Amino acid sequence: MSDAEKNEKNNARQSSNMSDRPIDGKTLRILDASINRASEGLRVVEAFSRMALGDAFLSSQLKRLRHDLTEGCAAIDSVSRLQSRDSVRDVGRNVQTDSEYDRADFESLIRSNMSRVQQAARTIEEYSKSHFASVAKAVEQVRYQAYTIEKAVFSTAFNRARFEEAHLYVLVDACGERCGFAKLKTLVSGLVEAGVDLIQLRDKSLTDSELVAAGKLIGSVTKESKTRWVMNDRVDLCIAANADGVHLGQDDLSVHEARMLLRPSQFIGVSTHSIEQARQAVIDGADYLGVGPVFESQTKSFDLHVGVELVADVVDEVSLPAFAIGGIDASNVADVIAVGCRRVAVSSAVCSAESPSAASRKIKQQLIVV
């Protein structure tokens, strides 16, 4: 018999021995209360994701986690659990703190209920180890998943508020300049005046030092306005130029890697080209999504265009702010709006126009009219 087979046999024997051990009513009562507590907390946050956020993806993740909790605890006999229950004599029902009845905002609601889930899961783990090893292992995974989903729910709620009024995102280059950037300053000033919400610097022709210089110029123009500016791809240059955020492609640093380097106030956008990538970006903690390329673009070529179909899928399933991008202009922005998306990122439609500020106003007016 191989070592692996011996280990498997020993583990099976240990698990069998554990399940054969008699379990007392007090332990069952603790497990029952903790399972109920974890399930209740998940249900509260699921209701928030479903009703307040309207987020089908996060709602499904929380529903699946409740299912995993139930399945993971299936080895604990449900009849025995019910027989052990004694809520009438539970001394905890009269132990209360002021904070239990103080839910000032959704943030406190999410945090308190996900904390309830995590603490209850840990209790289930500890009290099931002596009798139900499989339960302890399964619930441990539920607890770790709860940490991840808490971040995704909170991030989505926070960024919906942060980008609530953000509709128009414009990508600019250095206007053919390599120093001074007088044309770039004029362009950005016009965009700020027109009420553009985000400006991204994307120029593959500039050196790193030139990108930083151009970025700092953009920052000096947007500093006293509501317009925020974003560095494309490069987290290091985002930091060096003190950008408000960075936009990452699928082949760039991960959201986790970028987050470890950036200041907490700096945000992260992620380009997505499929519903699976959009879902993953939500779980990873992205602050907003770019979805596309929707149409054929004059500034960047792609082998595949996702069309408005993907935009529709994303806005139907994910409530994290999402900007449709790729070939969008005043003539086709209505097609994007028609599928429920009122956030777009454009480039040539504005930057190549005779009056970039006028072109920006025209597109933004279409986006914000209800």
* Domain spans, the chain: 3-160, 163-368
Burial classification of residue 38, based on how many CB atoms lie within 10 Å of its CB (0-12 exposed, 13-18 middle, 19 or more buried): buried
- The residue-averaged pLDDT of 302-317 equals 90
- Whether 100 shows a pLDDT value over 60: the answer reads no
Q: What does the pLDDT look like over 159-172, one tens digit per residue?
A: 999 999 999 999 99
pLDDT tens-place string over residues 3-56: 655 555 555 544 444 444 678 999 999 999 999 999 999 999 999 999 999 999
| Residue located via tokens 């760039």 | 252
% of the chain beyond a pLDDT of 90: 82
CATH number belonging to domain 163-368: 3.20.20.70
299 — pLDDT class (breaks 50, 70, 90): low
Model confidence at 128, pLDDT cuts 50, 70, 90, reads very high
- The pLDDT value recorded for residue 16 is 45
pLDDT in tens, 76-97: 998 989 899 888 777 776 666 6
Helix (H) or strand (E) holding 198: strand 198-201
**What's this model's pTM, rounded to 2 decimal places?**
0.88
Q: Residue 54: its pLDDT value, please? A: 97
Q: What is the pLDDT of residues 139-166, one digit of tens each?
A: 999 999 999 999 999 999 999 999 999 9
Looking from the CA of 17 toward its CB, the CA atoms found within 13 Å total: 7
Calculate what percentage of the chain has a pLDDT beyond 70. Answer: 89
| 170 phi/psi in degrees, rounded to 5 | -120, 130
Over the chain, what is the mean pLDDT? Answer: 91
Top CATH class, 3-160? mainly alpha
- pLDDT exceeds cutoff 90 at 98: no
Residue ranges of the alpha helices (H) in the chain? 3-20, 25-47, 56-72, 78-84, 106-128, 133-162, 182-193, 208-222, 235-241, 255-261, 275-284, 307-317, 333-338, 348-351, 356-368
Asked whether the predicted pLDDT for residue 197 surpasses 80, the reply is: yes
Region 63-76: mean pLDDT is 97
Closest CA to 360 of 344, 341, 339: 344
- 117: tokens are 């889930």
- Binned at pLDDT 50, 70 and 90, residue 305 comes out as confident
In this prediction, residue 370 carries a pLDDT of 58
Question: Which residues, other chains included, contact 353 with Cβ-Cβ below 8 Å and sequence gap of 6+?
Answer: 359
251-274 tens-digit pLDDT: 999 999 999 999 999 999 999 999
